[in-house]
């Protein structure tokens, strides 16, 4: 049977596609994170990586670049977009870009304790993962960053006392709206410059989880911290939808299962580390100031004012409503 040129061309294309499929190498997932080498977050990511590489018999190869060597989270997102990387473990800026609705959980004064966090997060996972998927990412795990406290060179237990200090203005639209609602003047600074600013006295009050505060040596320059849990933060591990779709359903299950498992195992370690960090600070002379009912009421009031500026813009109204419903269920138990 004779074939015309058109048929020959089609046959050639099919053969080329078949050859490419047969000769295709492993799926390579290059992920970047700001988590330092040796940190508990990096240990969890490394354990997940090894499990994926072994479980897929090398058909999926994961490589992780720690410590910000691929740049800040903004740089990493650009490299994912251009195909240089396939994903990352994020704890800051990128979460708001990939999964804006996750910011609802990180709004100040939302959670009172870890019990609320654990139950509400499980209820919110379908919403958060749908939010990430709409932005071209698959959420394969969620990590705890922890509760943030205020650390200061002066005792702070009220809005008036906070206003008398030089307050750091972090790259957080929600915290900035909170400060705006409380008429608190702030001084912007990159997180890498905060320690120097504390040393020179150009900053006096800063915010963050205890483990992070000790890791970057802020505790060496502050004299007190307030026990008020100002806000809660989460991180996550995400893979671009483009890279995700290159894997078989079985491979996807292995990847998500491994990272989800090791990040869940990480949560109690982070909480233990935060407790130890606060104890270590106190051992180094940093005084714990018990949050007064007045301070709690003041921050709850300005949080309610700030909410109106961010709900529907920084995160969706639907995410906030679902969060409040979940909180009501948990607190009603």
Domains and CATH numbers, the chain: 25-332 (3.40.190.170)
Query: For position 16, what pLDDT does the model report?
Result: 40
Q: Which of 144, 282, 156 is nearest to 219 (CA)?
A: 282
221 secondary structure, DSSP code: T
CA separation for the pair 91, 211 (Å, rounded): 14
Please compute the mean of the pLDDT values over residues 145-164 and round it to a whole number: 94
pLDDT tier at 149, thresholds 50, 70, 90: very high
CA separation for the pair 114, 91 (Å, rounded): 18
Q: Which of 26, 59, 61, 31 is nearest to 45 (CA)?
A: 31
* 85 and 51 Cβ atoms separated by less than 8 Å: no
- Quote helix, strand, coil % in the chain, to nearest 5: 55, 20, 25
Q: What is the pLDDT of residues 199-208, one digit of tens each?
A: 999 999 999 9
CA separation for the pair 241, 64 (Å, rounded): 18
The residue among 7 and 74 whose pLDDT is bigger is: 74
Q: What are phi and psi of 165, to 5 degrees?
A: -105, 165
Please check the confidence at residue 198 and state whether its pLDDT lies above 90.
Answer: yes
CA separation for the pair 161, 48 (Å, rounded): 45
Query: For position 18, what pLDDT does the model report?
Result: 38
Sign of CA dihedral 106, 110, 116, 119: negative
**Contacts with 72 (C-beta within 8 Å, 6 or more apart), sequence order:** 34, 93
* 82 and 303 Cβ atoms separated by less than 8 Å: no
CA separation for the pair 135, 60 (Å, rounded): 24
Please compute the mean of the pLDDT values over residues 144-154 and round it to a whole number: 94
Q: Which of 76, 70, 33 is nearest to 237 (CA)?
A: 33
Q: What is the pLDDT of residues 18-72, one digit of tens each?
A: 333 333 579 999 999 988 888 888 999 999 999 999 999 999 999 999 988 999 8
Query: For position 24, what pLDDT does the model report?
Result: 57
Structure tokens at 257: 């299962």
CB atoms within 10 A of CB 103: 22
User: How do beta strands 137-152 and 224-240 pair?
Assistant: antiparallel
Q: What is the pLDDT of residues 209-244, one digit of tens each?
A: 999 899 889 999 999 999 999 999 999 999 999 999
Structural Rg of the chain based on CA atoms = 23
């Amino acid at each position: 049977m004779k074939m015309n040129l058109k048929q020959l061309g089609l046959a050639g294309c099919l053969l080329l596609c078949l050859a490419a499929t047969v000769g295709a190498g492993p799926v390579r997932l290059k992920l970047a994170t700001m988590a330092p080498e040796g940190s508990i977050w990096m240990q969890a990511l490394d354990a997940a990586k090894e499990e994926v590489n072994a479980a897929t018999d090398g058909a999926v190869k994961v490589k992780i670049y720690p410590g910000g060597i691929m740049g800040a989270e903004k740089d990493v997102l650009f490299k994912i977009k251009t195909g240089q990387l396939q994903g990352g473990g994020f704890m800051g800026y990128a979460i708001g870009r990939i999964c804006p609705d996750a910011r609802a959980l990180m709004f100040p004064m939302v959670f009172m304790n870890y019990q609320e966090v654990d139950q509400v997060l499980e209820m919110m996972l379908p919403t958060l993962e749908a939010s990430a998927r709409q932005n071209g990412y698959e959420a394969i795990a969620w990590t705890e960053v922890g509760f943030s406290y205020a650390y200061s060179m002066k005792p702070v237990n009220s809005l008036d006392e906070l206003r008398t200090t030089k307050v750091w203005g972090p790259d957080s639209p929600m915290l900035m709206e909170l400060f705006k609602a409380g008429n608190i003047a702030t001084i912007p600074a990159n997180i890498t410059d905060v320690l120097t600013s504390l040393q020179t006295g150009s900053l006096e009050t800063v915010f963050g989880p205890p483990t992070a505060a000790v890791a970057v040596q802020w505790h060496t320059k502050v004299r007190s911290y307030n026990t008020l849990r100002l806000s809660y933060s989460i991180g996550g591990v995400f893979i671009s939808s483009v890279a995700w779709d290159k894997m078989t359903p079985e491979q996807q299950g292995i990847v998500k299962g491994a990272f989800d498992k090791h990040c869940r195992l990480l949560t109690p370690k982070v909480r233990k580390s935060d407790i130890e960090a606060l104890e270590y600070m106190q051992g180094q002379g940093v005084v714990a100031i018990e949050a007064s009912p007045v301070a709690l009421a003041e921050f709850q009031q300005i949080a309610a004012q700030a909410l109106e500026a961010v709900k529907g813009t920084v995160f969706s109204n639907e995410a906030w409503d679902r969060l409040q419903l979940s909180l009501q269920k948990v607190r009603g138990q």
